[in-house]
Amino acid sequence: MKAVLDAGALIAIDRRDRRFGARLRVLQRRSTPLRASSAAVAQVWRDGRRQANLARVLTGVGIAPLGAADSRRIGELLSRTTTADVVDGHVALLTDPGDILFTSDPDDLRTLIDARGIAAAVRVV
């Protein structure tokens, strides 16, 4: 099991959201790996000098690149679900059965996860 962070989760980290910070500390104590899409990082990254907390946390997050094969799979997934957010599509592809996906957009992510037939927990940030 791993925890997958979407852009909303990364924003919560950047804003030092206390509730989400507590969740991350619990995951850390359990040695749960954290993963994020490189595209989600790009959505929230603006200035590393002002985003020290996010930069610090990202050192412990596996950042998955958006590869050529992923691009095709994302496009097909978006087509099946009639959604359009490429970053959400990549986050959905990173999610495996048993994972916890932290998002501020639970409806779209649940639609994408369900279309993949993945049994994962979707938690609102």
Tell me the domains of the chain and their CATH numbers. 3-124 (3.40.50.1010)
- Please report, rounded to a whole number, the percentage of residues in the chain having pLDDT higher than 70: 100
Please name the residue ranges forming H helices in 3-104. Answer: 7-14, 18-29, 38-44, 52-58, 68-81, 86-94
Tens of pLDDT along 40-94? 999 999 998 899 999 999 999 999 999 999 999 999 999 999 999 999 999 999 9
The predicted pLDDT at position 48 comes to: 83
Neighbours of 27 (CB within 10 A): 17
| Global confidence as pTM | 0.94
The predicted pLDDT at position 49 comes to: 84
Residue-averaged pLDDT of the chain? 96
- Please report, rounded to a whole number, the percentage of residues in the chain having pLDDT higher than 90: 98
